[in-house]
């Protein structure tokens, strides 16, 4: 039987992490873990409960009181917060604009990382985020760092919005993505970084299928 390894996929917003991670997980019958959804879920809860997102202790207490479940579904993944389905609302503008401010608090990250490591215990996981290869799973057998130009990443989000019938402003998306990249890269605790042993793939002019194939080649080399 083939070894069930851990695969870490990091990179900035809209580089294609979750799309590609889901496909790889499906191909290998692995579990997909979207760590961004966990930070988004806490941010949603803080906004809904009126908790100050600059108050680290208040956020930590709220997190200890919050169960976050990631459940596979035929349409991707469902996110449940204390049993409520928040899958769509956590992708909205309010949460997107606040999430990097919530995710910068060291104590919040510590608790999230403990939960993420528990989910990955035993291997057979594809986990995506910002600090997976550098911090959450430093011993992951495969580490990938996806990147793409800001213009291309904003264009992808724009296309997604239009396909869903949501209003969308390309220039605003570019600004939001650049701001989040900056906050995520410049924070002190576990910033967005390529791990020294990660394979970097620039997806700007690649299709989803091409990226998946490149990663599968690397995975197959590892699992034999
Ligand atoms: O899907 P998108 O790339 O827009 O974002 P996401 O993966 O859902 O992550 C949302 C935010 O959560 C990021 O901008 C980071 O601030 C934070 N995050 C993090 O700090 N560490 C992770 N491992 C994953 C996400
Ligand atoms: O998880 P992350 O924020 O990195 O990106 P995502 O939520 O997977 O969104 C990426 C979007 O770009 C999706 O609509 C993909 O279909 C599209 N895309 C991609 O992921 N990879 C490519 N090489 C080309 C397009």
Pocket test for ligand 1, best of 36, 187, 192 (most atoms within 8 A of CB): 36
Average pLDDT over residues 106-130: 97
Residue 1 confidence class, pLDDT cut points 50, 70, 90: low
Domains of the chain: 6-223 (3.40.50.300)
Nearest ligand 1 atom, CA 12:
3
Give residues with Cβ within 8 angstroms of 98, minimum separation 6: 43, 46, 47, 53
Average pLDDT over residues 125-139: 98
Average pLDDT over residues 12-37: 96
- 80 C-alpha to ligand 1 centroid (Å): 17
Write down the pTM of the prediction: 0.97
Residue 163 confidence class, pLDDT cut points 50, 70, 90: very high
17 is in an annotated binding site: yes
Residue 166 confidence class, pLDDT cut points 50, 70, 90: confident
Q: How far is 38 from 115, CA to CA, in rounded Å? A: 10
Is the C-beta atom of 17 inside 6 A of ligand 2?
Answer: yes
Asked if this assembly's ipTM is beyond 0.85, the reply is yes
Q: How far is 30 from 8, CA to CA, in rounded Å? A: 12
Closest to 10 measured CA to CA, from 123, 116, 154? 116
Cα separations in angstroms, 169 against 106, 139, 166:
33, 40, 10
Mean pLDDT for the chain overall? 96
Is the C-beta atom of 19 inside 6 A of ligand 2?
Answer: yes
| Complete edge-to-edge strand list for the sheet that includes strand 84-85 | 68-73, 76-81, 84-85
Q: Give pLDDT, residue 122.
A: 92
Q: Give pLDDT, residue 134.
A: 98
Residues 24-50: b if buried by 16+ CB within 10 A, e if exposed: bbeebebbbbbbbbbbbbbbbbbbeee
Q: Picking from 4-13, 66-75, 130-139, 175-184, which range would have the lowest pLDDT averaged per residue? A: 66-75
Nearest listed ligand to the Cα of residue 162: 2
Classified as helix, coil or strand, 92 is coil
13 is in an annotated binding site: yes
Q: Give pLDDT, residue 221.
A: 95
Average pLDDT over residues 10-30: 96
Average pLDDT over residues 43-59: 98
68's tokens: 């976050």
Is the C-beta atom of 19 inside 6 A of ligand 1?
Answer: no
Nearest ligand 1 atom, CA 102:
16
18 is in an annotated binding site: yes
Classified as helix, coil or strand, 35 is helix
Share of residues in the chain with pLDDT > 70 (%): 100
The structure tokens 């680290």 sit at 56
Nearest ligand 1 atom, CA 35:
24
């Amino acid at each position: 039987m083939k070894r069930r390894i851990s695969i870490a996929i990091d990179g900035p917003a809209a580089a294609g992490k979750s799309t590609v991670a889901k496909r790889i997980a499906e191909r290998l019958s692995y579990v997909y873990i979207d760590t961004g959804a966990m930070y988004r879920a806490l941010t949603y809860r803080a906004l809904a409960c009126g908790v100050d997102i600059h108050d680290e202790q208040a956020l930590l207490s709220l997190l200890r009181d919050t169960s976050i479940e990631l459940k596979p579904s035929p349409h991707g993944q469902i996110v449940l917060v204390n049993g409520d389905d928040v899958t769509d609302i956590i992708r909205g503008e309010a949460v997107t604009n606040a999430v990097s401010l919530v995710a910068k608090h060291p104590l919040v990250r510590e608790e999230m990382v403990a939960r993420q490591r528990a989910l990955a215990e035993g291997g057979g996981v594809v986990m995506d985020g910002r600090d997976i290869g550098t911090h959450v799973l430093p011993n992951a057998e495969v580490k990938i760092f996806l990147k793409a130009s800001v213009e291309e990443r904003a264009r992808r989000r724009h296309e997604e919005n239009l396909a869903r019938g949501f209003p969308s402003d390309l220039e605003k998306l570019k600004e939001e993505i650049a701001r989040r990249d900056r906050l995520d890269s410049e924070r002190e605790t576990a910033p967005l970084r390529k791990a020294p042993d990660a394979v970097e793939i620039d997806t700007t002019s690649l299709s989803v299928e091409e990226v998946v194939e490149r990663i599968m080649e690397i995975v197959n080399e590892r699992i034999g």
